[in-house]
Amino acid sequence: MRRTRWNAPGLKIGIAALTLALTATACGGDDGDADADAGDSGSGSGDLTPVSLQLQWVAQAQFAGYYAAVEQGFYEDEGLDVTIAEGGPDIVPQDVLAAGDVDYAISWVPKVLGSIEQGAGITDVAQIFERSATTQISFKDKGITSPADLKGKNVGSWGFGNEWELFAGMQDAGVGLKDIELVQQAFDMNAFLAGDIDAAQAMTYNEYAQVLETVNPDTGELYQPDDLNVIDWNDVGTAMLQDAIWASSDRLSDEAYAEQTVAFIKASIKGWAFVRDDPQAGADAVTAAGSQLGTSHQLWMTNEINKLIWPSTDGVGMIDEAAWDQTVDIALNTENETGATIITEPPPESAYTNEYVEQALEELRDEGVDVDGADFSPIEVTLNEGGN
Amino acid sequence: MRRSLRAVLLGVLGVALVAALWDLYKAFGPEDGVLVGERTLVLPRATDLAMPHTWEMVQRLFEPATGLPGAPTALGAVVDAAGFTLGIAARGWLVGVTVGLLLALLMTRFKTAESGLLPWVVLSQTVPLIAIAPLVRRWGAQVEIGSFSWENEHSVALIAAYLAFFPVSIGALRGLKSPARTHLELMHAYGVGWWRTLLTLRLPASVPFLLPALRLAAASAVIGSVVAEVSIGLRGGIGRMVVEYAQSAGGDPAKAWAPIFGAVAVGLVAAGAVGLLTLALKPFRLTETS
């Protein structure tokens, strides 16, 4: 050891560095707290029941009804203090619910069916989306207008349970997975725009709009719906049920939770009715909750989501047996690239019930809330470049 | 002073070189990239979509992040997010370094601890981050001690720490064991105890090994924070921003790059902070090579 004495200037700088690190830490803490507070919804009044809802993705208009219900105080009216937990790529809402970390979760039916077969005790208590938003889009010049045309093409899919309607549609048309080149799709549509993917998976409310927000280099204008062919799985007949409210099966036998479930569904549907009647306010509620999506994109999404819900055949949230059976049938009989199906045997009785949504709808109808939206008509949304 | 001026100049030159290369490739590179076989892209496409001009990316930073009235500029949003991520990474780094050092001490003190722990330390880094992130979040959700309740950002910091502790424990262990046998025997002959040997011989000797480990830990903590933010779905940081801005990659290609610059900035600041720390430990840097 030649010289182990601490030299003064070095020490000072070191201490400065340490202070800096600690300050950063402290700042981070403050920011985080502020963020957590923002996530809470008016927890002022003491007699509200705290309820948490797990979304399956980040805040966006896909969940506008719930955000609107928080903002408009619909949950509070029902005695609930609802906290919305956003999702992420690795968050599986049904697992979070099954683990007992939240009271309710939003997820797609086919994704949950697999979890139920693996032992998750959860129940679809309200089927909010009646229609599927998943499509397979392609540029007109590729000539892909039906699932049969996918043969020999580069077909994009996100995987992770988003692929089943596509696979079922192909299977019905006699196109095997060996007949196509399955391409893993990213969060953006660049692979599609660059031509790496001939037919890309696109939600009507998101990726489809992303393409329409992009300038077509040939015309110098935004891409138009006329430039695209859309395979809509609702039309093909392989649509599966998407966003539903899931509750814990075990806890439903507890009266307080059952009552709370009715109240939660009721206020949520009220939120969706609000979004139907004022899409702009619905979009603003989501943006206010911290969504980073552009303004026109957010409104587009709100409008497209409305189309998935309204008009409602039996009242929002009612689970149509035929649609449920179609979803289960596809889940049982469609094989993915490894030859696996979502489920190997039909789901248990407890997988869905209309008991709670019926009560909620009855109360809403008594209050004069339009839960059918029979005369619903979507608005016209003009997308701007980049969705801004 | 002249040397530091030179360093700054070289740094600026380096950035300018990357920017120039980018735009040169964009200007002269093949529009459709270079394909090997049918699907393997070896050189990137040079379209505006795939490679926006560097000045467009910079320009985009100073435009509003969204079309909302009163929206901050993209730069403002990125700086906020970067600060948030940096805070989490700093916490993760501190915890990781502490744990790593303690483990290294334990393994130096007890031979059994070394043979028992070291394989686990190595094994710990083979667990994929995306597998542990949701688990950590779920466990965390059940933690509530008094008024302290576990937030998602704590989970992210924990994951950052999980990545950061590894290089420190390995580096410190090597460093603590680095004194020559003759030195150790000399201490022994003087009748100096283990703790005193640690303070006067082993710790100073470990510094050259520790410094690169601390830098590695800082990088790991930043990466861990960004990835875990995405995984867990924590809002406010760079990770979430990367995913959210990627949605506009088609319509507004330059925007998607803004959070990436933010991530780079976080990494640089983290590395810089550790660099300052090294200055304090300079007297001990006898043989550092990195």
Q: Within 13 Å, how many C-alpha atoms sit on residue A76's CB side?
A: 13
User: Chain A: residue nearest B202 by CA?
Assistant: A1
The answer to whether B229 touches B85, Cβ cutoff 8 Å, is: yes
> Which value, in Å, is the radius of gyration of the alpha carbons in chain A?
24
The answer to whether the Cβ–Cβ distance between A293 and B244 falls below 8 Å is yes
pLDDT tier, A18 (very low <50, low <70, confident <90, very high otherwise): low
Distance in angstroms (rounded) separating the CA atoms of residues A189 and B124? 36
Facing A88 at nearest CB: one of B93, B233, B256: B233
| Interface mutation vs chain A, best among B31, B56, B66, most A CBs within 10 Å | B66
Instruction: Give the model's confidence band at A355: pLDDT under 50 very low, under 70 low, under 90 confident, else very high.
Output: very high
DSSP state of B149: E
Q: Does A384 touch chain B (CB under 8 A)?
A: yes
User: Could A18 and B277 be called an inter-chain contact, meaning their C-beta atoms sit closer than 8 Å?
Assistant: yes
Give the whole-angstrom CA distance, residue A301 versus residue B63. 24
| pLDDT surpasses 60 at A38 | no
| Interface with B, mutate which of A4, A207, A210 (most B CBs under 10 A) | A4
Q: Is the pLDDT of residue A42 over 60?
A: no
Question: By the 8 A CB rule, do A17 and B90 touch?
Answer: no
A16 pLDDT tier (thresholds 50, 70, 90) = low
Residue whose structure tokens are 């049920």: A241
Smallest CA-to-CA distance from B84 within A117, A35, A362, A60 is with A35
Question: Which of A122-136, A348-362, B131-145, B149-163 is least confident?
Answer: B131-145
Cα radius of gyration (chain B): 23
Ramachandran area for residue B191 (φ above 0: left; ψ -120 to 50: alpha; else beta): left
Mind listing the pLDDT tens digit for each residue in B84-126? Answer: 999 999 999 999 999 999 999 999 999 898 899 999 998 888 8
Mean pLDDT of B209-227: 92
H helical segments located in chain A: 8-39, 64-71, 74-77, 93-98, 109-117, 164-172, 190-193, 207-212, 233-236, 255-277, 279-288, 295-309, 321-333, 355-366
Distinct helix (H) and strand (E) counts, chain A: 14, 10
**Which residues lie below 8 Å from residue B193, measured CB to CB, with a gap of 6+?**
none
Residues 6+ apart with CB under 8 A from A4: B200, B204, B283, B284
Classify burial at B55, counting beta carbons within 10 Å of its beta carbon; exposed 0-12, middle 13-18, buried 19 or more. exposed
What structural domains and CATH numbers belong to chain A?
49-130+241-387 (3.40.190.10), 134-236 (3.40.190.10)
CATH number of the CATH domain containing B173? 1.10.3720.10
pLDDT band for B67, please (50, 70, 90 cuts): low
Can you give the pLDDT at residue B285? Answer: 64
Percent of residues, chain A, with pLDDT higher than 90: 72
What ipTM does the predicted assembly reach? 0.71
Residue A199: φ, ψ to 5°: -125, 115
Which segment, A239-243, B26-30, B45-49, is predicted with the most confidence on average?
Answer: A239-243
- Decide: helix, strand or coil at residue A232: strand
DSSP secondary structure string for all residues of B207-251: HHHHHHHHHHHHHHHHHHHHHHHHHHT-SSSHHHHHHHHHTTTTT
pLDDT value of residue B142: 76
> Omega before A311 cis (within 30°)?
yes
Residue B53: inside a domain = no
Q: Is the CB of residue A241 less than 8 Å from the CB of residue A324?
A: yes
pTM of the model: 0.80
The answer for A 59-78 residues in CB contact with B (under 8 A) is 59
Rounded to the nearest 5 degrees, what angle is found at the Cα of B116, between the Cα atoms of B112 and B121?
A: 135
Quick one: pLDDT band at residue A1, thresholds 50, 70, 90? very low
**A137 touches A230 (CB < 8 A):** yes
> Which pLDDT score is estimated for B288?
46
Give the closest residue to A167 by CA, choosing from A184, A150, A191. Answer: A150
Residue A41, classed as helix, strand or coil, is coil
- The confidence band for B146, taking pLDDT boundaries of 50, 70 and 90, is confident
Contact between A17 and B276 under an 8 Å Cβ cutoff? The reply is: yes
Average pLDDT over residues A174-193: 90
Spatial contact of B41 and B33, defined as CB atoms under 8 Å apart: yes
| Residues in chain B within 8 Å Cβ distance of A86 | 233, 235
Q: What is the mean pLDDT of residues B150-178?
A: 91
Q: Can you tell me the distance from the alpha carbon of B216 to that of A361, in angstroms, rounded to the nearest whole number?
A: 58
Six token digits for residue B198: 């640690």
pLDDT band at A286 (very low <50, low <70, confident <90, very high): very high
DSSP code per residue over B103-145: HHHHHHH-HHHHHHHHHHHHHHTTS-HHHHHHHHHHHHHT-EE
**Partner-chain contact A187 B280, CB within 8 Å:** no
Count of domains forming chain B? 1
pLDDT for B68 beyond 80: no
Name the DSSP letter for residue A352: B
Beta carbons of A121 and A105 less than 8 angstroms apart = no
Token pair recorded at residue A140: 């007109």
* pLDDT above 90: residue B254: no
Residue B255 has pLDDT above 90, yes or no: no
CA distances from A319 to A121, A135, A236, A331 (A): 18, 22, 20, 17
**Is B284's pLDDT higher than 80?**
no
* Cα distance between residue B86 and residue B160, in whole Å: 11
Q: Using the beta-carbon criterion (under 8 Å), do B255 and A186 form an inter-chain contact?
A: no
pLDDT at A30: 41
User: Residue B201, Cα to own-chain centre: how many angstroms?
Assistant: 30
Query: Of A36, A51, A47, which Cα lies nearest the Cα of A81?
Result: A51
Q: Looking at residue A29, what is its pLDDT?
A: 41
Residue B236 has pLDDT above 90, yes or no: no
Contacts 24+ apart (CB under 8 A), B110-118: B114/B173, B118/B173
Is the pLDDT at B281 greater than 90? The verdict is no
Q: A86 in contact with B at a CB cutoff of 8 Å? A: yes
- In DSSP terms, A228 is beta-bridged to A139
User: Is residue B131 assigned to a domain?
Assistant: yes
CA distance A174 to chain B (A): 26
Is the CB of A125 inside 8 Å of chain B's CB atoms? no
Q: Between vectors from CA A178 to CA A173 and to CA A180, what angle results, nearest 5°?
A: 70
Within-domain flag for B156: yes
Counts of helices then strands in chain B (DSSP H, E): 11, 4
Question: Which of A11-20, A137-146, A263-272, A276-285 is predicted with the least confidence, judged by mean pLDDT?
Answer: A11-20
The confidence score (pLDDT) of residue A17 equals 53
Q: Are A170 and A156 contacting, i.e. CB atoms less than 8 angstroms apart?
A: no
* Structural tokens at position A182: 């399955």
Within 13 Å and on the Cβ side, how many CA atoms surround B212? 10
Pairwise CB contact (< 8 Å): B204 & A4: yes
* Length of chain B measured in residues: 290
Are the CB atoms for A102 and A83 separated by under 8 Å? no
Q: How far separated are the first and last CA of chain B, in Å rounded?
A: 23
Sequential DSSP letters for B20-56? HHHHHHHHHS-TT-EEETTTEEEE---STTTS--HHH
| β-bridge partners, B145 | B148
pLDDT one-digit tens code per residue, A235-277: 999 999 999 999 999 999 999 999 999 999 999 999 999 999 9
Looking up tokens 């929206």 gives B71
Query: Residues of A numbered 204-243 whose beta carbons fall under 8 angstroms of chain B's beta carbons: which are they?
Result: 206, 210-211, 213-215, 217, 222
Out of A37-51, A140-154, B201-215, the most confident range is: A140-154
Across A1-10, average pLDDT: 45
Residue A352 clears pLDDT 70, i.e. is over it: yes
Question: What is residue B36's predicted lDDT score, i.e. its pLDDT?
Answer: 74
The residue ranking higher by pLDDT, A37 or B195, is: B195
CA A336 to chain centre: 22
Does the residue B221 lie in any domain?
A: yes
Expressed as residue numbers, the domain containing B80 is: 68-284
Summary mean pLDDT of chain A: 87
Report the residue of chain B nearest A85, measured CA to CA: B233
Is residue A357 a contact partner of residue A126, using CB atoms and an 8 Å limit? yes
Give per-residue pLDDT as tens, A73-131: 999 999 999 999 988 877 889 988 998 889 999 999 999 999 999 999 999 999 999 99
Nearest residue, CB atoms, B68 vs list A13, A15, A295: A295
- Judged by CB atoms closer than 8 Å, whether chains meet at A28 and B286 is answered as no
Cα–Cα distance between B40 and B7 in angstroms, integer? 39
Query: In chain A, which residues have their Cβ closer than 8 Å to the Cβ of B48?
Result: 217
Q: Do residues A269 and A79 make contact, with C-beta atoms less than 8 angstroms apart?
A: no
Residue B24 located in a structural domain: no
